[in-house]
Amino acid sequence: MTSLDTAHDEGPSARSGASGGTAAEIVFDSVTKRYAGQEQPAVDNLSLTIGAGEICMLVGPSGAGKTTALKLINRLIDFEEGDITIDGRGVRGENVTALRRGIGYVIQQTGLFPHMTIAANIATVPRLLRWDKQRIRARIDELLELVGLEPEYAKRYPAQLSGGQRQRVGLARALAADPPVMLMDEPFGALDPITRGRLQEEFLRLHARVSKTVVFVTHDIDEAIKMGDRVCVLRQGGRLAQYDPPDVLLARPVDEFVADFVGADRGLKRLSLRRVGDLHLLPAPSARAGEDGTAARARVAEVGYETLILVDDDGRPQGMIGRDSLNGPVNASDARSIGVFGRLDMPLRDALSVMLSQAGSHLVVVDDDGRLAGLVSADLISAELAGTDASARAFDADEVPT
């Protein structure tokens, strides 16, 4: 439990430090982009700071200017008003090809070169940078492994891969020269939900290993909440609606537009952001077989429960025994099955779901070794959410002019 706790507390922004990577900070400073012959700007006076090593999710309705904002960074689209800096250097001052070679770019349609093998596709930027052959070859192997593809795929052509595999190659190709910044435009948008979920997980794991500043466009608010350190919500006309960590976005949408956008189930969505291990679990009254039943019964009564958890010598739950059957030594044959255990890395949303399906008021939680860790109750979960809300409200109050 503790290990998970710290892992979470460390938080996303600490990820960059972890691998000592080369991530860079990206700053949008009052950037406005107006396409020729259009009244309304596609991106309107956008100011935004994306911390080094962070994943920034860009969301918003179709046509809100997400893709435009993204392409301003690697100057696939030029702009005149405002400035974008990467580690303090304005993108407009850079040589455009050099700039792009230092930025990984992944798009939904992959844009893999059909006439090149997977290996050659991945080697594109390293070749432009004139790496020597051996280094390129080693890098290809490393990247294929990193994105979870067997080495034999190196010799294939893109048309010989599935959609998900092609998307992995697109990712590997963008990572090839180890750029500090990655731009991703709905990279998983065309995949089925299962593949998408798997690639999301893998991307997060990969991001933890290779530190990058990531700007990630998506239509899918769930994806944004799951992947983002911060979520940037754009509204029609390319104006910034809200830029906050997912939890804050869900707890305190700034207005109706954002609230609508994140959805009416945002409370439940917040539950998927936290894990059972984040909670201060309730202590569970437990006893081994053969212990004194009366003493055990007293312990149960003390916390106001009806049941006792029977554990083995290592502390692993074996079953539960009703308070009333605790007369004389604790007897294993009195125990009923517990059903499904909660785990420390289980999202609260799943924990709640298990609880509902078992029609119980509590969930027995075990740690990684299967030992009893404590109990979760529905009250505990709602108190956790309320706690954040409470602090959030206080924060609100500070901002209200008096």
Partner 1 sequence: MIGILAQGGSGPVIPDFGGGGAGNSCVRDNGFFCWNWFQQNWSDTFQPRLIEHIELTVVALAIGFVISFAAALFAYRYKWFDFPFTTFSAFLYTIPSLALFQVLVGITGLTLATALIPLVTYTLLILFRNTLIGLQEVPDEVREAARGMGLTRRQILWRVELPLALPAILAGLQIAAVTVVSLATVAAFVYDHGLGSPIFDAINRGTFKTELIGAGGLAILLGIASYAFFAVIQRVATPWARYRRA
**218 scored as a contact of Mg ion (CB under 5 A):** no
Query: Of 16, 22, 68, 200, which one interacts with ligand ATP (CB under 6 A)?
Result: 68
Determine whether 39 is exposed, middle or buried from the number of CB atoms within 10 Å of its CB (0-12, 13-18, 19+): exposed
Among positions 75-134, residues that touch partner 1 (CB under 8 A) are 76, 96-103, 105, 107, 109-116, 124-125, 128
Q: Which of 16, 22, 67, 286 binds Mg ion (CB under 5 A)?
A: 67
Please tell me the distance from the alpha carbon of residue 129 to that of residue 97, in angstroms, as a whole number.
Answer: 11
Which of the residues 363 through 402 are near ligand ATP (CB under 6 A)? none
What's the CA gap between 121 and 324, in Å, rounded?
69
Stretch that binds partner 1, among 136-144, 155-163, 359-367, 373-381 (CB under 8 A): 155-163
The count of chain residues that interact with partner 1, using the rule CB under 8 A, is: 30
Nearer to ligand ATP, 64 or 103 (CB): 64
Say how far apart CA 67 and CA 74 lie, in whole Å.
Answer: 11
* Span near ligand ATP by CB under 6 A; candidates 61-69, 125-133, 280-288, 335-343: 61-69
φ, ψ for residue 309, nearest 5 deg: -95, 125
Picking from 365, 302, 295, 293, the residue whose alpha carbon sits closest to that of residue 334 is 293
Phi-psi region of 58 (alpha: psi -120 to 50; beta: other; left: phi over 0): beta
d(CA 303, CA 317): 18
Give me the least distance between CB of 42 and ligand ATP, in Å please.
3
Pick what 114 binds: partner 1, ligand ATP, Mg ion, none; C-beta below 5 to 8 Å, kind-dependent: partner 1
Nearest to 35 by CA among 218, 236, 237: 237
Q: How far apart are CA 386 and CA 402, in angstroms?
A: 25
Q: Considering only residues 26, 42, 112, 140, which one is a binding residue for ligand ATP as defined by CB under 6 A?
A: 42
Nearer to ligand ATP, 21 or 187 (CB): 187
The Cα 210–Cα 275 span in angstroms is: 24
Closer by beta carbon to ligand ATP, 178 or else 222 = 222
Strand segments (E) across 69-196:
81-86, 89-90, 103-107, 181-185
Q: Which stretch binds ligand ATP (CB under 6 A): 63-71, 150-158, 196-204, 298-306?
A: 63-71
183 touching partner 1, by CB under 8 A: yes
Q: Which residues bind Mg ion (CB under 5 A)?
A: 67
Q: Which residues make up the interface to ligand ATP (CB under 6 A)?
A: 35, 38, 42, 60, 62-68, 219
* Residue ranges that bind partner 1, judged by CB under 8 A: 74, 76, 96-103, 105, 107, 109-116, 124-125, 128, 157, 159-160, 170, 173-174, 183
